[in-house]
């Protein structure tokens, strides 16, 4: 099966481990095992001792009842635990939805720029994919007249990513409801990649899940970003029952279960969802203030200030392509950014600003130094 290389993943695989100041990472500063376990005052020795007797079977195939119940209760308002299916990360959730629903001849629409998987995988399964551009002059939000003009009678799925990686734009209730109306007009599913959901800058932003808005809404998510637990490799699909059934039928061929220990630790995290979210909102808000100060002082950088998530696209005025800029920056200073070319956004770099504040400050200083040297 033909598929293009996944540019951002190739970039991270090649360089991430040599970064001294990793300001390309998209997770909110990851938790250690000890930080996770002790969040609610649990004694770590007792916690880990309680695992000694766990028999390492496949465990619950579709995710433990507790995991599915906590996901349904913490993140959604209208679904039941049986509407949640555990997967290997958010990436596994997206893949499984496309593997289960998309057939040759289908039409799929995806926002762009976004996580490349969301438009490349349906294409690889034989769909015709139209991209709906997210432009800086529209604050990286979609033009819904343009979306209307793209839908067809065979549109199987409209794919969105809310909040958006890489721009940090977020669509609120009103816009989501209008997207649902357009999808309903042609009977299309809406897949919304919601791995950054709830990482909001403003307390009053109203950003419901697509699964709570639309009878054919499919939410994909994970514990990687908003819960700082990428090492657990646990994600899920939250969707109507017929979609879950189709995904389960297909998942039997790729995944038996997703690992008992990961499930146990994710359950502990989901029990403390509010605590982790509060920690992480503080990190993204404090760090965006640092980034905003820096952008305002740097004449060669500008941006649409993100309203959610962990990333921003910085427009950069340097005399070299974005890949050359980022490889040079890393080699000369140890600071690590992602080139806009990974998102077909030449002239930009993507920053992940949810690392620890000292790393962000030092990384930005290195970027300033390097740009001055280049000029
Ligand atoms: C929008 C989006 N979806 C999915 C993923 C995959 O995340 P994971 O599989 O760790 O949950 C990423 C990772 O960067 C992402 O940015």
**Ligand 1, atom 11, residue with closest C-alpha:** 90
- Answer with the one of 235, 256, 273 that is the final residue of a domain: 273
Q: Are 283 and 199 within 8 A, CB to CB? A: no
Tokens 């000292």 — which residue?
A: 358
Q: Tell me, yes or no, whether 268 and 280 share the same domain.
A: no
Q: Is the CB of 165 under 6 A from ligand 1?
A: yes
Q: Is the CB of 115 under 6 A from ligand 1?
A: yes
- Answer with the one of 235, 253, 273 that is the final residue of a domain: 273
Does residue 355 sit within a domain?
yes
Q: Is the CB of 341 under 6 A from ligand 1?
A: no
Domain holding 120: CATH number? 3.40.640.10
Q: Tell me, yes or no, whether 323 and 254 share the same domain.
A: no
Q: Tell me, yes or no, whether 73 and 134 share the same domain.
A: yes
Site to substitute for ligand 1 among 87, 160, 219, 222, most atoms within 8 A of C-beta = 222
Q: Is the CB of 195 under 6 A from ligand 1?
A: yes
Q: Is the CB of 113 under 6 A from ligand 1?
A: no
Does residue 51 sit within a domain?
no
Q: Tell me, yes or no, whether 175 and 311 share the same domain.
A: no
Domain holding 315: CATH number? 3.90.1150.10
Q: Is the CB of 26 under 6 A from ligand 1?
A: yes
Report the alpha-carbon distance of residue 339 to residue 346 in Å, rounded.
8
Phi, psi of 300 (to 5 degrees): -90, 0
* Partners of 158 in beta bridges: 109, 190
CA distances to 11, 18, 316 from 24, in Å: 10, 12, 15
Quick check: 325 pLDDT over 90? yes
- Quote the ligand 1 centre to 91 CA distance (angstroms): 6
Site to substitute for ligand 1 among 6, 89, 258, most atoms within 8 A of C-beta = 89
Does residue 40 sit within a domain?
no
Site to substitute for ligand 1 among 91, 118, 166, most atoms within 8 A of C-beta = 91
Q: State the Cα angle at 167 between 106 and 371, rounded to 5°.
A: 130
For residue range 259-288, what is the model confidence (pLDDT) as tens digits? 999 999 999 999 999 999 999 999 999 999
Angle between helices 273-297 and 260-271 (to 10 degrees): 80
Phi, psi of 143 (to 5 degrees): -90, 115
Q: Percent of the chain beyond pLDDT 90?
A: 99
Quick check: 113 pLDDT over 90? yes
Does residue 48 sit within a domain?
no
Q: Tell me, yes or no, whether 194 and 226 share the same domain.
A: yes
Sign of torsion over alpha carbons 85, 271, 280, 363: negative
What 8-state DSSP symbol labels residue 163? Answer: S
Q: Tell me, yes or no, whether 87 and 232 share the same domain.
A: yes
Q: Return the closest-CA partner of residue 113 out of 269, 326, 338, 266.
A: 338
The number of domains in the chain is 2
Q: Tell me, yes or no, whether 252 and 312 share the same domain.
A: no
Q: Are 235 and 224 within 8 A, CB to CB? A: yes
- Quote the ligand 1 centre to 309 CA distance (angstroms): 12
Both structure tokens of 11: 């970039």
Count Cβ atoms within 10 A of the Cβ of residue 45 and give its class: 0-12 exposed, 13-18 middle, 19 or more buried. exposed
For residue range 43-87, what is the model confidence (pLDDT) as tens digits? 999 999 999 999 999 999 999 999 999 999 999 999 999 999 999
Angle between helices 241-251 and 89-101 (to 10 degrees): 100
For residue range 169-191, what is the model confidence (pLDDT) as tens digits? 999 999 999 999 999 999 999 99
Give the mean pLDDT of 243-260. 97
Both structure tokens of 197: 């959901």
Site to substitute for ligand 1 among 22, 225, 229, 255, most atoms within 8 A of C-beta = 225
Q: Is the CB of 262 under 6 A from ligand 1?
A: no
Q: Tell me, yes or no, whether 228 and 303 share the same domain.
A: no
Q: Are strands 338-339 and 348-352 parallel, antiparallel or unpaired?
A: antiparallel
What is the DSSP secondary-structure string of 37-68?
Answer: HHTTT--HHHHHHTTTT---S---TT--HHHH
Question: What's the pLDDT at 1?
Answer: 86
Report the alpha-carbon distance of residue 238 to residue 189 in Å, rounded.
13
Q: Tell me, yes or no, whether 258 and 358 share the same domain.
A: no
Q: Is the CB of 166 under 6 A from ligand 1?
A: no
Q: What is the mean pLDDT of the chain?
A: 97
Does residue 340 sit within a domain?
yes
- Quote the ligand 1 centre to 268 CA distance (angstroms): 21
For residue range 123-132, what is the model confidence (pLDDT) as tens digits? 999 999 999 9
Give the mean pLDDT of 335-355. 98
- Quote the ligand 1 centre to 112 CA distance (angstroms): 15
Does residue 362 sit within a domain?
yes
Q: Tell me, yes or no, whether 346 and 215 share the same domain.
A: no
What 8-state DSSP symbol labels residue 20? Answer: S
Does residue 170 sit within a domain?
yes
Does residue 44 sit within a domain?
no
- Quote the ligand 1 centre to 193 CA distance (angstroms): 8
Q: Tell me, yes or no, whether 263 and 152 share the same domain.
A: yes
Overall pTM surpassing 0.75 (yes/no): yes
Question: What's the pLDDT at 111?
Answer: 98
Tokens 């490799």 — which residue?
A: 233
Quick one: pLDDT band at residue 375, thresholds 50, 70, 90? Answer: confident
What 8-state DSSP symbol labels residue 30? Answer: P
| Residues contacting 206, CB < 8 A, separation 6+ | 172, 173
Q: Is the CB of 209 under 6 A from ligand 1?
A: no
**Ligand 1, atom 14, residue with closest C-alpha:** 26
- Answer with the one of 239, 273, 307 that is the final residue of a domain: 273
For residue range 278-322, what is the model confidence (pLDDT) as tens digits? 999 999 999 999 999 999 999 999 999 999 999 999 999 999 999
Question: What's the pLDDT at 176?
Answer: 98
Report the alpha-carbon distance of residue 117 to residue 95 in Å, rounded.
8
Question: What's the pLDDT at 360?
Answer: 98
Q: Tell me, yes or no, whether 261 and 157 share the same domain.
A: yes
Residue 311: which domain range?
A: 7-34+275-374
């Amino acid at each position: 099966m033909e598929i293009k290389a996944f540019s951002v993943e190739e970039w991270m695989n090649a360089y991430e481990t040599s970064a001294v100041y990793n300001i390309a990472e998209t997770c909110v500063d990851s938790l250690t095992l000890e930080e996770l376990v002790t969040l609610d005052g649990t004694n770590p020795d007792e916690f880990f001792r309680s695992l000694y007797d766990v028999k390492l079977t496949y465990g619950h195939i579709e995710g433990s009842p507790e995991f599915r119940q906590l996901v349904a209760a913490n993140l959604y308002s209208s679904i039941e635990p049986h509407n949640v299916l555990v997967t290997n990360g958010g990436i596994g959730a997206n893949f499984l939805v496309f593997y289960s629903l998309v057939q040759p001849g289908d039409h799929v629409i995806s926002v762009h720029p976004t996580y490349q998987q969301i438009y490349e995988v349906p294409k690889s399964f034989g769909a015709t994919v139209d991209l709906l551009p997210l432009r800086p002059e529209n604050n990286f939000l979609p033009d819904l007249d343009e979306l209307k003009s793209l839908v067809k009678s065979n549109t199987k799925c409209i794919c969105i990513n809310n909040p958006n990686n890489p721009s940090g734009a977020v669509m609120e209730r009103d816009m989501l409801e209008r997207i649902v109306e357009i999808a309903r007009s042609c009977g299309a599913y809406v897949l919304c990649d919601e791995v950054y959901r709830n990482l909001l800058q403003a307390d009053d932003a109203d950003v419901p899940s697509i699964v709570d808005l639309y009878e054919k809404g499919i939410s994909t998510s994970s514990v990687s970003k908003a819960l700082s637990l990428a090492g657990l490799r646990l994600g899920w699909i939250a969707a109507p029952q017929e979609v879950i059934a189709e995904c389960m039928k297909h998942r039997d061929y790729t995944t038996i279960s997703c690992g008992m220990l990961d499930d146990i630790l994710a359950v502990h995290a989901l029990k403390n969802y509010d605590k982790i979210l509060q920690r992480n909102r503080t990190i993204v808000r404090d760090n965006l203030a640092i980034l905003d100060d820096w952008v305002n002082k740097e004449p060669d950088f500008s941006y649409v200030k993100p309203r959610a998530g962990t990333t921003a696209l910085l427009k950069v005025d340097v005399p070299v392509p974005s890949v050359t800029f980022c490889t040079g920056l890393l080699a000369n200073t140890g600071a690590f950014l992602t080139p806009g070319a990974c998102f077909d956004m030449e002239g930009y770099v993507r920053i992940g600003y949810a690392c620890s504040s000292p790393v962000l400050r030092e990384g930005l200083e290195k970027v300033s130094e390097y740009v001055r040297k280049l000029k």
